[in-house]
Chains A and B, each alone.
Chain A
Amino acid sequence: MQMLCAVLVGIMVAASIYLILDRNLIRFIFGLVLAGNAINLLIFTTGRLESRRPPLIPNKMTMGQELFANALPQALILTAIVIGFALLSFVFILFYRAYQALGTVETELMRAAEDDADDHRPELGPAGGRPV
């Protein structure tokens, strides 16, 4: 079962890298989602996969008698999922706004920040609205 999971993680990471290397931001973000899930699965696997035995230590003993799944990586994944969800929702909004502002989702064409554009107007005063 662990082996199967390891192979699955490998396939998912490979697929996500393929998507991340794409010039299209939409494909990129799907790659990111896939990579995030693959890594959560990876952490899940490092804590052993064992469905039948609860992670309980019998009374008056210091160690469990049989191998059970470690609960800590699962807690870590929970944190990673929450953070990942927040980050992804931000990225979706950011990409959408970037698409609205720049009119493209092709990274090759997104050069607004790095062009030596000559549409120069002097910027004086504080950024974003009137002085405080």
Chain B
Amino acid sequence: MSELLILPIILPLVGGAAAVMVRKSARRSLQLALTNAGLHTIAGSLLIYHVHTHGIFATQIGNWPAPFGITLVADRLSAAMVMITAVINLAVTFYSKADIGSDLVRRGHYCLLQILVGGICGAFLTGDIFNLYVWFEVMLMASFGLLVLGQSKTQLDGGVKYVTINLLSTLLFIAGIGLLYGLTGTLNMADLHQKIPLVANRGLVTALAVLFLTAFGIKAAIFPLFFWLPAAYHTPPVSVSAIFAGLLTKVGIYALIRFFTLVVLIDTAYLHFLLLTSAALTMITGVLGAAAQNEFRRILSFHIISQVGYMVLGLALQSRLAIAGTVFYLVHHIIVKANLFLVSGVVRQLQGSFELARLGGIYRSKGWIAGLFFIPAFSLAGFPPLSGFWAKMILIRASLDVHQYWLAFIAAGVGLLTVYSMTKIWGEVFWKPAPEANHVVDPLPARSISAWMLVPVTALTALTIIIGLGAEFVFQFAQQAAAELSHPAHYVRAVMGNQ
């Protein structure tokens, strides 16, 4: 069944190459991208089904046995991430029809989008840490391109900040890999799991772990490494910022989870303290930053940061329940956050702005759009019975279990402050009467909302509700994923074979 591991990577990469050929025709580009996103979703579903029924499985590329060759491996976490990537890709590609103009298509929008997806899936499926670096690079290059493709002033400015800090993170990552290899003589993550405990100099291992924490922390936007995110994520077209917001920081989180459950365990008090503090401060600074913003997408960007804090919290608490909470949170957050960015695009389509002061009155004119915002927004804030409520509840419960009362308090309090930001958007954009200035604007032809925008938004909103109502099933899956993560023996056996 090794095709299942290769397909989610190869499909988007081939699609990206084909998109270069047809980029002159916007219509054919879109058809190609949609077909590919559909196939990718099918491949993702097959993968997650196979992993769920047969457990972890691995394949060695070119038949070079591990730890010498490159291993592709899928456990429940990887499979779930690939699946969710495929879903977001499909939604965003659909949305792009109404959001991306012909100029951007000609410059290679769909090509970069698919390479981005290929890079993300590669990062989720690889079992080799150097290969992880390579996929990170593929993903980064594509995201750089997507970010500055429009070449507006703000995009170039945001692009400079995004690119520079990500390059630094890359350098730290590769330096860490070099030192790790010098220390253990292997780069296969399952093999590293066996070799790291044999290293005599534990101080070096901790230093390395901090190097990786910084590198992945920049990508995941944890405190104090997040400043690039709100500087860049509101500048590209809506569909691009939606896929960035949904997936990119989560690849960083995935790498953190993989690294700290498989390669280096959080077994020193120092690392434990570092992760817990950073998680708490990430939650707080993110939500406070959001409270100070008055632009739709910038508020949402700051909320990504505070949500990332929750996921790191689950990882730092280390109990199986906490890790299950992180997995649940990942799934919930990716859908909700991408959806909120898409909704911001719908609002812009109606009133031509992201500035809260210039928006208003949408509840009166288009009430159902208010509903489409309401559900993901309050899922984000953690209202029952939506998906965010369960995600937050599991994490708070997990912190109480290990007597981290302060963290439970912070997690609950940050949820409350999230409600504050969401009600701010709600009040400004949907409830207050439309500001005078907007009535003077010439009615442009694009005032009506295209179905290409509404279908993905509605579908993702429905998915949020389904996860909320079917939380039992998702939670069971998350618990099984957490069991695999906290006992890497199965993972190691799947990769290394029976030794």
Residue of B nearest to A97 (CB): B156
B444 surroundings in chain A (CB, below 8 A): 122, 124-125
Q: Does B75 contact A (CB under 8 A)?
A: no
Chain A: interface secondary structure? Answer: helix
- CA of A116 to CA of B175, assembled, Å: 38
Interchain CB contact under 8 A, B103 and A128: yes
Neighbour of A101 across the interface among B156, B174, B175, CB < 8 A: B156
Residue in B105, B106, B174, B236 whose Cβ sees the most chain A Cβ within 10 Å: B174
Interchain CB contact under 8 A, B160 and A128: no
Chain B: interface secondary structure? Answer: helix
Residue of A nearest to B349 (CB): A124
- CA of A89 to CA of B231, assembled, Å: 23
- CA of A80 to CA of B175, assembled, Å: 10
Number of residues on chain A facing chain B (CB within 8 A): 48
> Provided the pairs A28-B164, A102-B156, A124-B352 are in contact, do residues A131 and B174 lie with their beta carbons within 8 angstroms?
no
> Provided the pairs A42-B178, A102-B156, A129-B104 are in contact, do residues A122 and B235 lie with their beta carbons within 8 angstroms?
no
Neighbour of A46 across the interface among B30, B181, B230, B234, CB < 8 A: B181
A114 surroundings in chain B (CB, below 8 A): 157, 230-231
- CA of A25 to CA of B352, assembled, Å: 34
Instruction: Give residues of chain B (137-178) contacting chain A, Cβ–Cβ below 8 Å.
Output: 137, 140-141, 144, 148-161, 163-164, 167-168, 170-171, 174-175, 177-178
Minimum distance in angstroms from A96 CB to a CB of chain B: 10
Interchain CB contact under 8 A, B144 and A127: no
A66 surroundings in chain B (CB, below 8 A): none
Number of residues on chain B facing chain A (CB within 8 A): 72
Minimum distance in angstroms from A83 CB to a CB of chain B: 5
Neighbour of A47 across the interface among B155, B163, B182, CB < 8 A: B182
Q: Does B50 contact A (CB under 8 A)?
A: no
Stretch of B93-101, B250-258, B391-399, B469-477 at the chain-chain interface: B93-101
- CA of A10 to CA of B447, assembled, Å: 59
Q: Does B353 contact A (CB under 8 A)?
A: yes
Interchain CB contact under 8 A, A46 and B150: no
Interchain CB contact under 8 A, A94 and B148: yes
Interchain CB contact under 8 A, B171 and A130: no
What sequence of 0s and 1s flags, for each residue 82-95 of chain A, a beta carbon within 8 Å of any chain B beta carbon? 01001100110011
- CA of A107 to CA of B159, assembled, Å: 12
> Provided the pairs A91-B167, A132-B102 are in contact, do residues A122 and B174 lie with their beta carbons within 8 angstroms?
no
A123 surroundings in chain B (CB, below 8 A): 348, 352-353
Minimum distance in angstroms from A78 CB to a CB of chain B: 12
A43 surroundings in chain B (CB, below 8 A): 174-175, 177-178, 181
Q: Does B271 contact A (CB under 8 A)?
A: no
Q: Does B294 contact A (CB under 8 A)?
A: yes
- CA of A98 to CA of B444, assembled, Å: 31
- CA of A42 to CA of B441, assembled, Å: 59
Instruction: Give residues of chain A (22-44) contacting chain B, Cβ–Cβ below 8 Å.
Output: 25, 28, 32, 35-36, 39, 42-43
Q: List 4 tightest A-B contacts by C-beta distance, closest first.
A: A122-B352, A46-B182, A129-B103, A129-B101
24 contacts between A and B (CB under 8 A): A36-B171, A39-B171, A39-B175, A43-B174, A76-B181, A87-B137, A91-B163, A94-B159, A98-B156, A101-B152, A101-B157, A102-B153, A102-B157, A124-B352, A125-B446, A126-B98, A126-B99, A126-B237, A127-B150, A128-B149, A129-B103, A131-B98, A131-B446, A132-B105
